[in-house]
Amino acid sequence: MDESSHTLFSVLVDRARSGDERALAELAGQYEAEVRIAARVLLGPLLRPHVDSMDLVQSIHRSLLVGLRANKFAFSRPEQLLALVLTMVRRKAAQCVRIQSRRLRLTTEAVTSGSWPSIEANTHGNDPAVVVEHDDELRHLMDRLDGTERRVVELRLQGYSTAEAARELGLDADVLRVRLSRLRRKLVNSERRLAEAI
């Protein structure tokens, strides 16, 4: 990078730091393509159906803007900017993996125990926001199941035994036990693959 290009980049960063929207857009244009590719690779096939890589890119934009305005980031060359945003996307992707892994673990517990895990152990009282979050997590994961699996989990959460759920679904109880066992393994294996992706 020659001296004039170095100066132009520094001016661009200073403008972005002061809140110049056009400068911010120009900076984003210097890394967006690479970040989108990195986000897709880091999310992998397990997370792509649940996390939009473009949402991750927008999150990077917001974090960069906040960091620039707070003088938190210092870089003088485009390659330093790219290294920074790639580090940010790796951290955000890892966070997505941890969140999805927790959701899978909760659903696995629900399938195994027949009850949605208690939130009281981790909260002070029944915070409505926390209750809503847990319900959202369950709905999010239920979308990953096929119709029968979803109905089985619903019945188990309502307190049905395996035999009662089988009667409700018109299935043989032994067949349903096998399906439940496969569902538990499926969820556990998904959680393991997510954990290994971190």
Average pLDDT over residues 70-89: 87
Phi, psi of 167 (to 5 degrees): -65, -40
Q: Which residues 6+ apart lie within 8 Å of 119 measured at CB? A: 126, 130, 131, 134
Q: Which domains does the chain have, with CATH numbers?
A: 3-98 (1.10.1740), 101-197 (no CATH)
Per-residue pLDDT band at 71 (split at 50, 70, 90):
confident
Which pTM does this prediction carry? 0.55
Query: Is the pLDDT reported for residue 86 higher than 80?
Result: yes
